[in-house]
Chain A
Amino acid sequence: KQEVTQIPAALSVPEGENLVLNCSFTDSAIYNLQWFRQDPGKGLTSLLLIQSSQREQTSGRLNASLDKSSGRSTLYIAASQPGDSATYLCAMETSGSRLTFGEGTQLTVNP
Chain B
Amino acid sequence: EPEVTQTPSHQVTQMGQEVILRCVPISNHLYFYWYRQILGQKVEFLVSFYNNEISEKSEIFDDQFSVERPDGSNFTLKIRSTKLEDSAMYFCASITETEETQYFGPGTRLLVL
Contact = CB atoms under 8 A, between A and B. Distances in A.
B107 A99 contact: no
B104 A45 contact: yes
Nearest to B44: A101
Interface in B71-113: 91, 93, 95, 100-107, 109
Interface stretch (A11-19, A65-73, A76-84, A89-97): A89-97
A51 interface: yes
Contact of A46 (B44, B48, B101): B101
Contact of A98 (B56, B107, B109): B56
Category for how many chain B residues contact A? 20 to 34
B51 to A, nearest CB: 13
B77 to A, nearest CB: 15
A29 interface: no
Contacts, number: 55
Contact of B43 (A31, A89, A97): A89
A104 B41 CA distance: 9
A50 to B, nearest CB: 10
B11 to A, nearest CB: 15
A101 B43 contact: yes
Given A42-B107, A96-B55, A101 B42 contact: yes
Contacts of A93: 100
Given A32-B100, A34-B102, A46-B102, A102 B42 contact: yes
Interface of A: 31-32, 34, 36, 41-46, 49, 51, 89, 91, 93, 96-104
Given A44-B104, A98-B58, 17 more contacts: A32-B100, A34-B101, A34-B102, A42-B107, A43-B106, A46-B104, A93-B100, A96-B56, A97-B33, A98-B45, A98-B48, A98-B56, A99-B102, A101-B43, A102-B42, A103-B41, A104-B42
